[in-house]
Copies of this chain bind each other. A is one copy, B any other.
């Protein structure tokens, strides 16, 4: 859909980083006037609902410098160039949790902050996960702790404001409503 399209008049890349780029576009609005748009370009990411054979969701606690605190999230990570999202999902699951899964299934994808960023998160489900011997560990600048909770416990953590990461809450709610989505 291109309704209310904003035509690009100029586009300037201010910063090219390891994960994000910052781009400033001058646009022509539908009424002919002009405006500026501050845009973050992101390679996209995956997130994984990983379920143990007992139906517990595996989550990771990690420090997020952007927030200056550690929070609880489902395993996730950014796409690497040329890597298929399902491969990224399997890799991130192994590296962050030590678990593997024979069959990762794509559930849904969503934009996290369309007002300023193009980050698209692909959500996967990994059922009947099992420990991988000699699993690859997390990236060298990544430190995580594992937590395993039931769906009901996870919903309570959202309600009690202990989970406040959008993709994690989205995933837990999706799981609770999965009969509807089938």
Please give the residue numbers on chain A whose beta carbons come within 8 Å of chain B beta carbons, in ascending order.
Answer: 1-6, 14-15, 17-20, 22, 24-25, 27, 29-31, 33, 35-40, 42, 45, 61-67, 69-71, 73, 76, 78, 108-119, 121, 140-141, 143-145, 155, 158-159, 161, 164-167, 169-170, 173-174, 176-177, 180-181
Give the 6 A-B residue pairs with the shortest CB-CB distance, closest first. A173-B173, A35-B141, A4-B63, A4-B143, A37-B65, A17-B38
CB distance from A60 to the nearest CB of B (A): 11
A39 CB, nearest partner CB in chain B, Å: 5
Other-chain contact of A110, B31, B35, B140, B169 (Cβ < 8 Å): B169
Q: Which residue of B lies closest to A76 (CB)?
A: B115
CB neighbours of A76 from chain B (8 A): 115
Partner of A114, one of B73, B117, B155: B73
Known: A15-B14, A110-B165. A40 touches B66 (CB 8 A): yes
**Using Cβ atoms and an 8 Å threshold, which residues of chain B touch A180?**
155, 159, 176
Residues of B within 8 Å of A118, CB to CB, are 66-67
Selected from B66, B110, B113, B170, the residue in CB contact (under 8 A) with A39 is B66
List residues of chain B with CB within 8 A of the CB of A39.
65-66
Chain B residue at smallest Cβ distance from A40? B40
B3 touching A112, Cβ below 8 Å: no
**Which residues of chain B come closer than 8 Å to A116, judged between CB atoms?**
19-20, 40, 42, 66
- Find the B residue at minimum CB distance from A36: B18
- Contacts A3-B145, A40-B66, A110-B165 supplied; 20 other A-B pairs, CB < 8 Å: A1-B69, A1-B71, A3-B70, A4-B144, A5-B63, A17-B24, A39-B66, A45-B115, A66-B114, A66-B115, A66-B117, A67-B118, A78-B115, A110-B166, A111-B164, A112-B112, A155-B177, A155-B180, A169-B170, A176-B180
